[in-house]
Structure 1
Amino acid sequence: MANSQLDLLTDDRLRAALGSRQFRLYPEVGSTNDLAREWASNGAAEGSVVLAEEQHGGRGRFGRAWFAPAGTALLMSVILRPVVDAASLSRVTMLAAVSVAETIESRLSPQAHALGLKWPNDVQVAGKKVCGILPEAVWLGERAEFVVLGIGLNVRIDFAGSPVQTTAISLEPLTSQPIDRAELLAALLVRIEAWLPQLHAPGLWHAWRNRLVTLGEQVTAHSASGAISGEAVDVDESGALLLRLADSTIRRVVAGEVTLAK
Structure 2
Amino acid sequence: MAMREAVLQALKEKNGEWLSGEMLSESLKVSRTTVWNQIKALLAEGYEVESSPRKGYRLSSPPDILSPAEVCPGLTAEVFGRKEYLYYQEIDSTNSQAKALASKGYPEGTLVVADMQTAGRGRRGRSWYSPGSQGIYMSIILRPVLPLKEISRISLLVAVAVAETLAEELNLPACIKWPNDILIDNKKIAGILSEVVTDMDGIEYIVVGIGLNINNQPQDFPSDFRTPATSAMAEDRCLVSRVKVLQGLLARLESHYLDLLAGRFAGTLEKGKSLSVVIGQELKLDTINGVLQGQAVDIDDHGFLLLRDQSGIIHTIMSGEITILS
- Quick check: TM above 0.5? yes
Residue type at the aligned position of 2:280: G
Larger proportion of strand: 1
Measure the CA separation in 2 of the matches of 1:34 and 1:165. 24
The structure with higher relative contact order (CA 8 Å, sep 6+) is 1
Structure 1 contact 119–257 (Cα < 8 Å) conserved? no
| TM-score (ref. length: structure 2) | 0.72
Structure 1: state its 5+ residue gaps: none
Measure the CA separation in 1 of the matches of 2:274 and 2:310. 25
The 5-angstrom pairing of residues 61-140 of structure 1 reads: 61-109=123-171, 114-140=173-199
Residue type at the aligned position of 1:233: V
Structure 1 contact 216–233 (Cα < 8 Å) conserved? yes
**Once structures 1 and 2 are overlaid, which stretch shifts more, 122-131 or 219-228?**
219-228
**Once structures 1 and 2 are overlaid, which stretch shifts more, 81-90 or 158-167?**
158-167
The 5-angstrom pairing of residues 201-216 of structure 1 reads: 201-216=265-280
Measure the CA separation in 2 of the matches of 1:195 and 1:166. 28
SS at match of 2:89: strand
The 5-angstrom pairing of residues 134-153 of structure 1 reads: 134-153=193-212
**Residue 56 (str. 1) matches residue 118 (str. 2):** yes
Q: Which one of 232, 235, 244 corresponds to residue 183 of structure 1?
A: 244
Q: CA deviation at 1:206?
A: 1.3
Larger proportion of helix: 2
Measure the CA separation in 2 of the matches of 1:258 and 1:251. 14
- Cα RMSD of the aligned pairs, angstroms, is 2.3
Q: CA deviation at 1:151?
A: 0.5
Structure 2 contact 217–234 (Cα < 8 Å) conserved? no
**Residue 171 (str. 1) matches residue 225 (str. 2):** no
SS at match of 1:77: strand
| Percent of residue pairs identical | 36
Q: Which residue of 2 aligns with 1:234?
A: 298
Superposed CA deviations along residues 20-50 of structure 1, whole A, max 9, x for unmatched, are 7121011211210111122222332221210
Structure 2 contact 66–113 (Cα < 8 Å) conserved? no
Measure the CA separation in 1 of the matches of 2:282 and 2:163. 24
| TM-score (ref. length: structure 1) | 0.89
- Change in Cα spacing, 1:58 to 1:252, as seen in structure 2 (3 Å) is same
Measure the CA separation in 2 of the matches of 1:61 and 1:225. 17
- Change in Cα spacing, 1:233 to 1:162, as seen in structure 2 (3 Å) is same
Q: CA deviation at 1:59?
A: 1.9
